[in-house]
Amino acid sequence: MKWLLHLLEAFRPLFEADGKLKSLKPLFMATDRFFFSSPAATRGAPHVRDPLDVKRFMSMVIIGLLPCLLCSLYFFGLRVLAMIAVSYAVGGAIEVMFAIIRKEEINEGFLVTGLIFPLILPPTTPLWMVAAGIAFGVVVGKELFGGTGRNLFNPALVGRCFLLLSYPAAMSKSWIMPGSGLWGRLTQYVKIAEVDAISCATPLAMAKEGDPAPLWNLFTGHVSGSVGETSALAVILGGMFLVATRVANWRTVVAVLGSYIVLGGLLHALFPEMFGPVIWHVMAGSLLFGAVFMATDPVTSPATDGAKWAFGILIGVMTLMIRNIGGYAEGVMFAILMGNIFAPILDEVVIRRRLRRLNLER
Amino acid sequence: MVRLNTEENHITLENVIKEKEESHRADEESAQIPAGTGTKGATRGKLLALGAWQFFYDAHTGSVPDPFGSPRAVIVSSISLEPFLARGDVQIAKRLSSFVRGLSHLQSLLEYQPIHLVVPHMDSPLATRVREAVRGHAWVKLVELPMRHGLEDFSVIARSLGYKQQDESPVWALNVAGVLAVDRTLTMSKPATVRIISIGGPSVKSPCHLKAIPGYPIKKILSDRLSDGPARIINGGVMKGETMDGWLGLDCECEGLTVVPESADREFLGFMKLGGDRQSYSKCFASSVGAGFAERLTTALRGEQRACIACNHCEEVCPSGLMPQLIHKYLYNDELEEAEWAGTDMCSGCGLCSYVCPSKIELRAEIQAAKNRIEHELHPEEVSE
Determine, for residues B326 and A303 on separate chains, whether the beta-carbon distance falls below 8 Å: yes
Pairwise CA distance, residues B321 & B324, whole Å: 9
- CATH T-level topology, domain B4-188: Rossmann fold (3.40.50)
Determine, for residues A147 and B307 on separate chains, whether the beta-carbon distance falls below 8 Å: yes
Instruction: Spell A210-233 as b/e; 16+ CB within 10 A means b.
Output: eebbeeebbbbbbbbbbbbbbbbb
Q: What is the pLDDT of residues B166-219, one digit of tens each?
A: 777 899 999 888 999 999 999 998 888 888 889 999 999 989 888 888 888 888
Looking at the complex, does the CB of residue A49 fall below 8 Å from at least one CB of chain B?
yes
Instruction: Indicate the helix (H) or strand (E) that contains A286.
Output: none
Q: What is the pLDDT of residues A251-295, one digit of tens each?
A: 999 999 999 999 999 999 999 888 889 999 999 889 999 999 999
Test mutation, A49, A95, A358, chain B, max B CBs within 10 A: A49
Distance from the A300 Cα atom to the nearest Cα atom in chain B, whole angstroms: 9
> Which pairing describes strands B115-119 and B208-212: parallel, antiparallel, or unpaired?
unpaired
Distance from the B166 Cα atom to the nearest Cα atom in chain A, whole angstroms: 6
Terminal C-alpha separation, chain B: 29
| CATH class of the domain at A55-348 | mainly alpha
Q: How buried is residue B125: exposed, middle or buried, by Cβ count under 10 Å (0-12/13-18/19+)?
A: exposed
Give domain B195-261's CATH architecture: Roll (3.10)
Determine, for residues A245 and B240 on separate chains, whether the beta-carbon distance falls below 8 Å: no
Instruction: Spell A66-97 as b/e; 16+ CB within 10 A means b.
Output: ebbbebbbbbbbebbeebbebbbebbbebbbe
Q: What is the pLDDT of residues B80-118, one digit of tens each?
A: 888 888 877 777 888 888 998 999 899 888 888 889 998
Question: Which residues in chain A are closer than 8 Å to B332, comparing Cβ atoms?
Answer: none
Looking at the complex, does the CB of residue A349 fall below 8 Å from at least one CB of chain B?
no
What is the model's pLDDT at position B23? 47
List the one residue out of A115, A90, A225 whose CA is nearest residue A171.
A225
Looking at the complex, does the CB of residue B271 fall below 8 Å from at least one CB of chain A?
yes
At a CB cut-off of 8 Å and minimum separation 6, what does B142 contact? B117, B119, B122, B127, B130, B131, B134
Predicted-complex ipTM score:
0.89
Distance from the A227 Cα atom to the nearest Cα atom in chain B, whole angstroms: 26
Looking at the complex, does the CB of residue A36 fall below 8 Å from at least one CB of chain B?
yes
Looking at the complex, does the CB of residue B282 fall below 8 Å from at least one CB of chain A?
yes
Q: Taking the domains of chain B in order of start, what are their residue ranges?
A: 4-188, 195-261, 301-384
CA B332, B337, B341, B345 torsion-angle sign? positive
Single-letter residue type at A323: R
User: Average pLDDT, stretch A108-129?
Assistant: 93
Determine, for residues A37 and B270 on separate chains, whether the beta-carbon distance falls below 8 Å: yes
Pairwise CA distance, residues B41 & B300, whole Å: 50
Looking at the complex, does the CB of residue B322 fall below 8 Å from at least one CB of chain A?
yes
Question: Which residues in chain B are closer than 8 Å to A44, comparing Cβ atoms?
Answer: 242-243, 362, 364-365
Determine, for residues A53 and B298 on separate chains, whether the beta-carbon distance falls below 8 Å: no
Q: What is the pLDDT of residues B336-382, one digit of tens each?
A: 999 999 999 899 999 999 999 999 999 999 999 999 999 888 888 77
Answer yes or no: is pLDDT of A1 > 80. Answer: no
The answer to whether A104 and A122 are in contact (CB under 8 A) is no
Pairwise CA distance, residues A52 & B284, whole Å: 7
Q: What is the pLDDT of residues B241-258, one digit of tens each?
A: 999 877 788 888 888 999
Test mutation, A7, A12, A28, A56, chain B, max B CBs within 10 A: A56
Q: What is the pLDDT of residues A177-222, one digit of tens each?
A: 888 888 888 888 888 777 777 778 888 888 877 788 889 999 999 9
Determine, for residues A245 and B239 on separate chains, whether the beta-carbon distance falls below 8 Å: no
Looking at the complex, does the CB of residue B280 fall below 8 Å from at least one CB of chain A?
yes
Question: Which residues in chain A are closer than 8 Å to B155, comparing Cβ atoms?
Answer: none
> Which pairing describes strands B57-58 and B242-243: parallel, antiparallel, or unpaired?
unpaired
Instruction: Quote the pTM value.
Output: 0.87
Q: Taking the domains of chain A in order of start, what are their residue ranges?
A: 55-348
What is the model's pLDDT at position A255? 97
Cβ-Cβ pairs closer than 8 A, A with B, add up to: 209
Pairwise CA distance, residues B153 & B288, whole Å: 28
* Nearest-10 Cα torsion for A245, A251, A254, A258: 180
The answer to whether A25 and B274 are in contact (CB under 8 A) is no
